[in-house]
Chain A
Amino acid sequence: MPRLVSHPDEVKIVSRRFGKGAANIDRYIELGGYESAKKCLEKGPDWIIDEMKASGLRGRGGAGFPTGMKWSFVPKQSPKPKYVLVNGDESEPGTCKDHLIFLHDPHAVIEGTLIAGLAIGAKIGFIYLRGEYRYLLDIMEKAVADAYSKGFLGKKIFGSKTEFQIITQTGAGAYEVGEESALMESLEGKRGVPRIKPPFPAVVGLYGGPTVINNAETIASVPHVIEMGAAAYAAVGSPRNGGTRLFGLSGHVERPGVYELPMGYNLKKMIYEVGGGVCGGRTLKAVVPGGSSTPVLLPEEIENLGMDFDQVGKAGSMLGSGGVVVIDDQTCIVEFALRTISFYQHESCGWCIPCREGTDWLKKSLTRFHAGFGEAKDIDNIQYLAENMLGRTFCPLGDAAAMPTLAFVKKFRKEFEDHLNGKPCPFARHVEMAVV
């Protein structure tokens, strides 16, 4: 069972009900649950979308797109049915926040989905969980069944004339399916390969109907935005970055865990105060700020870095999924880069050639390099390959593989050079045999 942690600096909004038995519907109602949905049903779509816009809530999956704006793109009139799709295919390395939401607060996901449905005029919502989260799917399915039996879902929700159905869905192991268009393909029973955009899902999405796709954390934040009021929610975060975020501290940190902190919270403080510093009092070497696809940051870059979409973007990285991976000075960056690219090589769906071939060649080069068979020109080659993947694929997986690789090479070039000429890796513990 995942351990819950807490820290005085936390502002518990999304995690407010964690560890309080809220998976039980009666307990959820006792804690104020489903009041937001009732209020939204009364106020209507325009009010909901205005609230979401004013709250400054931005997509928690990684791209940080303003949620209210996304919802407003869905056409009011549509000949095809509209859908809400909740992305719980959480698989970005370093990220485990949705895991806790499904475990401790499944009804918040249901309520958020319902509100999104009311906002865009959809009658069906899908909640898609990755295949590995089977025990969480069981919890979600139970919660959905309970919501139906209370009359919160179904043909006449809360005794009104409005209909809303929720269908839960399991994946079967694919990182790529976390990309919104690939997610729709998977839900349609196909290989999870991305679709070209435009058209965007808000116009042509699932089964060809207008579709809103939101990350599970975004959806779980929605009832809280309504409950607190948009202004109060926005006030918690930093400018243009409303509210809080579930940050997952992992890697070489004394107290790893998922902490809910206001947007814009200082990264250095997050590691040293909230997380208790680097393991065993060792020195910080680097930080991956938002899941494995975000470019690595050096200790000097995090001094005054506030963790919101804009500030981390300005620092040359991304807030991503909020998975902060702490790396100490005993870690080989080449090995770390290799492990990262191995993941993307494994998960590339093979649809676009720059990604399929690029990740494979990067993995081969880095494997050879780490085993001590690299050559000086390989460093430039790695950089050249990665640069040529950027922006040349249907979906962002190609970029997600290239961006961190580029950062590793640029920021730790000396460490790459130290591996040259058969020099053993100073930290080598697990050197794979290179196919030279």
Chain B
Amino acid sequence: MSPKDTNTETMTLFSPQLAARFDALVKKYPVKRSALVPMLLYAQDEVGYLSDAVIAEVAGRIGILELEVRNVATYYSMLRFKPAGKFNIQVCTNISCMLRGAYDLYERFQSELGIGPENITPDGLFSLEEVECIGACCWAPAIQVNYDFHDELKPELVPGILDGYRGQAQAEGKAIHA
């Protein structure tokens, strides 16, 4: 297999910016395959999850089998194979956060959103998961919403955080689930 160049098929799957980023990425390393993990993560950021089409495209660009891509992708906990909400809420419940009330925070998120772990709200706006240490132990309890950190939280701050993201979605004025 040889790597594909940017073509029309790619353009429909990835934005021109992302396609250009990938072209730069495969040239960056002494060995092309080193681009695999970042590529999967960046593709997921744009598409929402690693669909079969994304995996096939990434395999083609690096010049390895789809099976090899899957083999690697299933190892990393941030990579997912089904859609998440527009805003994926990741609540850290590891020791430092747990000691400072992370489970109360997690429960508050569940009740405010009316969903359980690993679920998506019906409007597609939020999904919720419990995650391992996110590296904000001294500012616990902490969460990440997509890549944004929120630290030193209390359960009563949860509605405000959610409203902030609802406002952001409204401002973007996009249909969430086509």
Contact = CB atoms under 8 A, between A and B. Distances in A.
A313 interface: no
B36 interface: yes
Interface stretch (A50-58, A130-138, A357-365, A377-385): A130-138
A134 B136 CA distance: 14
A167 B28 contact: yes
A172 to B, nearest CB: 4
Given A190-B72, A249-B138, A207 B31 contact: yes
A68 to B, nearest CB: 27
A2 B138 contact: yes
Interface string B32-46: 011111101100000
Interface string A405-435: 0000000000000000000000001100000
B132 A346 contact: yes
Contacts of A346: 77, 132
A91 B75 contact: no
A82 B77 CA distance: 30
Interface in A163-220: 167, 169-175, 186-192, 207
A2 B139 contact: yes
A103 B140 CA distance: 18
Interface string A76-100: 0000010000000011111110110
A339 interface: yes
Interface in B73-104: 75-79, 93-96, 98-100, 103
B7 to A, nearest CB: 23
A98 B78 CA distance: 20
Contacts of A92: 133
B30 A96 contact: no
Nearest to A124: B30
Interface stretch (B118-126, B144-152, B167-175): B144-152
A63 B136 CA distance: 22
A248 B136 CA distance: 10
A248 B134 CA distance: 14
Contact of A94 (B35, B137, B148): B137
A230 interface: no
Given A189-B36, A251-B100, A256 B139 contact: yes
A3 B38 CA distance: 29
Contacts, number: 154
A252 B138 CA distance: 10
Contact of B95 (A133, A190, A288): A288
B134 to A, nearest CB: 5
Contacts of A112: none
A167 B99 contact: no
Given A174-B76, A174-B77, A429-B103, A2 B136 contact: yes
B71 interface: yes
Interface size class of A (residues with CB under 8 A): 35 or more
A257 B38 CA distance: 31
B55 interface: no
A173 B79 contact: yes
A17 B138 CA distance: 19
Given A172-B76, A429-B103, A132 B33 contact: no
B140 A250 contact: yes
A49 interface: no
Contact of A99 (B38, B136, B147): B136
Nearest to B75: A191
B93 A133 contact: no
B60 to A, nearest CB: 15
B159 interface: no
Interface string A223-252: 000000000000000000000000011111
B164 interface: no
A173 B44 CA distance: 13
Contacts of A171: 37, 76
Contacts of A1: 149
B37 A189 contact: yes
Contacts of A90: 135
Interface string A151-171: 000000000000000010111
**Which of B76, B96, B138, B148 has the most CB atoms of chain A within a 10 A radius of its CB?**
B138
Contacts of B136: 2, 96, 99
A22 interface: no
A323 B137 contact: yes
A325 B75 CA distance: 29
B62 interface: yes
Given A94-B96, A132-B78, A173-B77, A167 B137 contact: no
Interface of B: 28-31, 33-38, 40-41, 62, 71-72, 75-79, 93-96, 98-100, 103, 132-140, 144, 147-149, 151-152
User: Which 6 A-B residue pairings sit nearest by Cβ, starting from the closest?
Assistant: A173-B78, A189-B36, A189-B33, A172-B76, A173-B77, A250-B96
Given A132-B134, A174-B77, A343-B133, 12 more contacts: A93-B137, A94-B96, A132-B135, A171-B37, A172-B41, A175-B133, A250-B99, A251-B140, A339-B95, A340-B95, A347-B132, A349-B75
